[in-house]
A and B are shown apart, each in its own frame.
Chain A
Amino acid sequence: MPAANSIDEPILTVKDLNISFVSKYRDDRQVIRNVGFEIRPGEFVGLLGESGSGKSTLGNAILNLLTPTARVTSGELLYRGRNLFTIPAEDLRILRWSEISTVFQSSMASLNPVMTVRAQMEDVFAAHRGASGAKREMTVEKSLDLVSIDHKYLDFYPHQLSGGMKQRVALAMSVLLSPDLIVFDEPTTGLDVVVQKSILSRLKTLQESMKFAVLFISHDLGTVMEMADRVMIMYAGEVVENSPAADALSGVAHPYTIGLLGSYADPRDAEINIRYIPGRPPSLDSVPVGCAFADRCGLATQECREPKIPTAEIDSPAGHRSIKCVLFGSETSDPLPAPTIFDEVGQQIDVHHAALGAGEVVCRVEDLNKTYSTRKGLKHTENHAVIGVGFELRKGSVTALVGQSGSGKTTIGRILTGVEKPSSGTVTVAGVDVGSLKRRTLRNYRSKVQLIFQDPFQALNPASSVGYAISRPLVNHRKLRGSEVREEVDRILGQVGLTPPSEYRDRLPHELSGGQRQRVVIARALAAQPEIIVADEPISMLDVSIRAEILQVLNELTRSNGIAMLYITHDLLSARLIADEILVLHEGKIVETGSTNQVLTQTRHDYTKLLLSSIPNPWQSRRNVPSIPAASSTSARA
């Protein structure tokens, strides 16, 4: 434990760090640019940024785990005054885990698959025999108690544990030697919201009792803002803002911070205002001169294109802020600009105003059941994936199917698209029972019901061009020929916002960004002129700013083309933005239905309440923190 007088001494100091990836085949890419910050004992620091902004690289640098192709071109990394890049290897080894430990993303892959949990934990003690007595008080059993895992799991292998349990084991392992700093890299990505919530609250209690400092890397804004004392926002390899969380939320912050926060809202709120930042981060091969964010920033001026953007150092009641933006702390103006200037940052998205019951019914699902039976040796087990589910889909309206993973959402989607047969019950589309369809008619049916998957990277054939992918349904289902096909492809590309079509028609999937790929998947689904679209978590793999954009496209297209959509998700905010009606699914049963607003604001069922309470709400949990920072001193640093 840190001594009382060292409370204000940072345990970790990063100074002017630059990291490049070198490659024989192309120019070096600088992925970390002039990053400097400090972490104090017991502090909970969040690191936020879009995919590819360099968060993991920075985390790995702190752990000294960079891959051999990464070069630290300049800068220092001081842990209690010792430079981790230059200390002798054996000193570094001893310092590892006893001072700085880590939990990786998805411990699926970070636990050794052929060793028991116990063996992997005891390895730590074996490697650190010399650690001081205080550090040896912890035992493997005690650490498991801390994360509420039964001791019997010590003798299990990783693959015998669920994802959430593995993550808890990883958390228990990280505190074995009572380190002073733990680096978390997306520790709950891929886990269920409810599981995620329980792990994070466990982390928070552990941190409060053991007093270690945390660097928490995530792209999940709500979580970071709720948990962290201080947040750092990364953009294109730079830390553009480093502020106490309350200040970052105050409405006066770096335009990128404002933009990121704009895409976040609490689905329970009566009025929702969502904004997103159009465009994508610059390629790291050619970061523009001046502010890297300038191309997407609505507030950019000529000044922002000057080579050196100063970093404003501002003291606020909650602590110290560093903001790299010309709007802050220039010598001639107030350190903080007026909050109103940020009103125009980002682009507003239309929040759909849910209207229940409009439009004719195109699909009726009645008393649907699906039971999977598995046979293991002599044991016969039945898994009731879907139990007595019934609902209707209407023309031009969106129905959200919401539930935890494993609740049966995807099974219902698969039955609807005719990929899977129900055990009992009916799905009626245009007067025909889908379960009774045979080969030919089923093929026809499938063109009427299109599926959009979670992963746009797997949904497209890597070897065929965008134009070809979209033309397939036109030729197969709609029997278009020749120039008709071409015109229709262009029209659909325009509809999903890939304009001009000539620029996208001949591209291959790998030449597109994630958001563009998902647009192509949507275009392909539209090409078949479907009556129903089943969208299974269509935005969950995308970055926040792209999410809003794709939701927008889906929203407009279903309504203008009179398509009925079943929107499958675990994310209640996105359901709020697009759906007219919500069905809450729990263990195969629908436990609550109603119009979107009704389900979210006048929630009746406990399970829906649990789902809602698992959503982080930084604004609410910080309500008592003063939100208007009064600047006391300022200085500008080039």
Chain B
Amino acid sequence: MLYFLRKTGLFVLTLWAAVTLNFLIPRLQPGDPAEAIVQKLAGQAQQVDPEQIRAIRLMLGVPDTSLWNQYWDYLNALVHGNFGLSYGYFPYSVTHMIAEALPYTLTLVGVTQIIAFVAGTGLGAWAAWRRNTKIDSFISLGSTFLSTLPFFWIALMLIYVLANTLHWFPEGGAYSGEIVPAFSSGFVADLAYHAVLPALALLITGSIGWILGMRNNMVQSLGSDYTRLAVAKGLKERRVAWTYAARIALLPNFTGFAISLGGVFGGTLIVEQIFSYPGMGKLMYDAIGNRDFPLLQAIFLITTVAVLLANFLADVLVGVLDPRVRRQSS
């Protein structure tokens, strides 16, 4: 119990620190913070657009009040999900832009991450269970080979073969132009149709790490005394494989998985770029291009919070699954 309390406390503390740093850093710069930020984004030589400075000021809050008041306003705005106006997509608010992009990324990347983890771990465990057989060689050599290929190359090959040559799937985009985004079955089917290629690319590359990691962990736990004793006890194969070998081999992977889920909120720049997918990665890319500081700031904050949250959940999960961890800190 103490373990969970401590982890919760730690989470709240780091969350507060991250949020506060996000507030303080732009304000700690000497001179007019807004001007400095715009100058930095624009490059030294360029003329600074007064419009930009105004937008940043708006985001930072009224500079005349005390820092304390600004901080209070900032927290208040955060709680209400108010990140100010986007400069690049004026007059839309930052919140609006993120709300547009986030669902695409969450479903595409989030779902593929989960499938990749489950499938990768399963394949890795299977390879380890059948270690030194043909199945094992096929799985581990195959994934080692794929892991040497760069992601964009795999993605481009998929587009070339499945979209350009065979015309089975569209080259890019999240939905067809003619369909109006709405919650109709037609739209959902169209979304899924468009998501197949990027999802396939993500699945291939995403699961490799889990396959190789799980195989290594599991080969180790299969050789361990507790697994050998489980065999000696005459337990059924399945029980030995899952409850003894796989369960312990899985623990280190969980943390990695939770953290990778946290990263989903930042989107994946490359995949969304290649498949022109309107998710968070693309939004961020465009925000950098447009020097859309309010939007960038919000994306960074969301990503940080998501990663922290994922870490926290991973800690809790591992605590539930592994009594040794609970004990260490209680």
A113 touches B324 (CB 8 A): yes
Closest residue of A by beta carbon distance from B235: A127
Contact: A65 with B323, CB < 8 Å? no
Contact B2 A157 (CB under 8 A): no
Chain B nearest CB from A380 CB (Å) reads 16
- Nearest-neighbour CB distance to chain B for A84, whole angstroms, equals 12
Interface centre among B223, B231, B247 (most CB of A within 10 A): B231
Whether B248 lies near A113 (C-beta < 8 A) is: yes
Interchain nearest-CB distance for A85 vs B (Å): 15
Which chain B positions have C-beta within 8 A of A33? Answer: none
- The reply to whether the CB of B327 lies closer than 8 angstroms to some CB of chain A is yes
Identify which of residues 183-238 in chain B touch chain A, using a CB-to-CB cut-off of 8 Å: 223-226, 228-236
The answer on a CB contact under 8 Å between B323 and A101 is: no
Q: Is B96 an interface residue (CB 8 A)?
A: no
- Considering only residues 124-144 of chain A, those with a C-beta below 8 Å from chain B are 124, 126-128
Mark A526-558 against chain B: 1 for CB-CB distance below 8 A, else 0.
Answer: 000000000000000000000000000000000
- The docked-state distance in angstroms from the alpha carbon of A584 to that of B131 is 52
Question: B325 — nearest CB in chain A belongs to which residue?
Answer: A114
Of the candidates A63, A109, A114, which one forms a contact with B232 in the assembled complex, judged by CB atoms under 8 Å apart?
A63
Q: Chain B contacts of A124 at CB under 8 A?
A: 233-235
> Which chain B residues border A111 with CB–CB below 8 Å?
226, 229
A114 to B324, CA, bound (A): 7
User: How far, in whole Å, are A97 and B236 apart by their CA atoms in the complex?
Assistant: 12
Q: Which of B223, B234, B236, B244 contacts A112 (CB 8 A)?
A: B244
Whether B239 sits at the interface, judged by CB under 8 Å, is yes
Q: Which chain B residue lies CB-closest to A68?
A: B132
Closest residue of A by beta carbon distance from B328: A159
Is A94's CB within 8 Å of the partner chain B? yes
Contacts of B2 in A (CB 8 A): 377
User: In the complex, which range does the number of interface residues on chain B fall in?
Assistant: 20 to 34
The contact string, 1 if C-beta is below 8 Å from chain A, for chain B 226-267, is 101111111110010001100110010000000000000000
Contact A157 B323 (CB under 8 A): yes
A188 to chain B, nearest CB (A): 16
Asked, given contacts A102-B229, A157-B324, whether A93 binds B248 with beta carbons under 8 Å apart, the answer is no
- CB-CB under 8 A from B251, the residues of chain A are 114
Whether the Cβ atoms of A127 and B131 lie closer than 8 Å is no
Give chain B's interface secondary structure class: helix
* Residues B6-63 near A (CB distance < 8 A): none
Q: B322 on the interface (CB 8 Å rule)?
A: yes
Q: Does A86 contact B (CB under 8 A)?
A: no
Contact at B228–A65, with CB atoms within 8 Å? yes
Contact yes or no, B234 A102, CB < 8 A: no
Q: Could you say which residues of chain A place their CB within 8 Å of the CB of B231?
A: 65, 96
Selected from B224, B228, B239, B321, the residue in CB contact (under 8 A) with A114 is: B321
Q: Which residues of B contact A67 (CB under 8 A)?
A: 223
A157 touches B327 (CB 8 A): yes
Task: Determine the chain B residues whose CB is within 8 A of the CB of A104 once the complex forms.
Answer: 225, 228-229
Residues of A within 8 A of B224 (CB): 109
Known contacts A95-B234, A127-B233, A128-B234, A112 near B226 by CB under 8 Å: yes
Interface residues on A, range: 20 to 34
Residues of A within 8 A of B229 (CB): 102, 104, 110-111
A448 to B233, CA, bound (A): 54
CA distance A128 to B234 in the complex (A): 8
Distance (Å) between the CB of B324 and the closest chain A CB? 5
Assuming the contacts A67-B223, A114-B322, asked whether A93 and B244 have C-beta atoms less than 8 A apart, the reply is no
Tell me the B117-137 residues at the A interface (CB within 8 Å).
131-132
Chain A residues positioned under 8 Å from B232 (CB to CB): 63, 65, 96-97, 101-102
Given the known A-B contacts A65-B231, A96-B232, are A109 and B323 also in contact in the complex, defined by CB atoms under 8 Å? Answer: no
Most chain A CB within 10 A, of B2, B236, B321, is at B236
Residues on B with C-beta less than 8 A from A115 are: 243
Interface flag for A160 (CB, 8 Å): yes
CB-CB nearest in chain B for A104: B225
Do B236 and A68 have beta carbons less than 8 Å apart?
no
Shortest C-beta distance, B24 to chain A (Å), equals 33
On chain A, the residues within 8 Å of B228 by CB distance are 65, 104, 110
Determine which residue in B2, B132, B233 has the highest number of CB atoms from chain A within 10 A of its CB, and name it. Answer: B233
Among A112, A113, A126: residue with most chain B CB under 10 A? A112
Contact yes or no, B321 A98, CB < 8 A: no
Q: Which of A97, A114, A159, A377 contacts B234 (CB 8 A)?
A: A97
- The 17 listed contacts between A and B (C-beta, < 8 Å) are A67-B223, A68-B132, A93-B236, A96-B234, A97-B233, A98-B234, A101-B233, A102-B232, A110-B228, A110-B229, A112-B226, A113-B323, A114-B321, A123-B243, A126-B239, A127-B234, A159-B323
Please give the residue numbers on chain B whose beta carbons come within 8 Å of chain A beta carbons, in ascending order. 2, 131-132, 223-226, 228-236, 239, 243-244, 247-248, 251, 321-324, 327
- The 9 A-B residue pairs whose C-beta atoms are closest, nearest first, are A96-B234, A110-B225, A109-B225, A157-B323, A97-B234, A127-B235, A112-B226, A110-B229, A97-B233
Given contacts A94-B234, A112-B248, A113-B324, could you give 18 more A-B pairs where the C-beta distance is less than 8 Å?
A65-B232, A68-B132, A93-B236, A97-B234, A101-B233, A102-B229, A104-B229, A110-B228, A114-B251, A114-B323, A115-B243, A124-B233, A124-B234, A126-B235, A127-B235, A127-B236, A159-B327, A160-B327
Residues of A whose CB lies within 8 Å of any CB of B are: 63, 65, 67-68, 93-98, 101-102, 104, 109-115, 123-124, 126-128, 157, 159-160, 173, 377
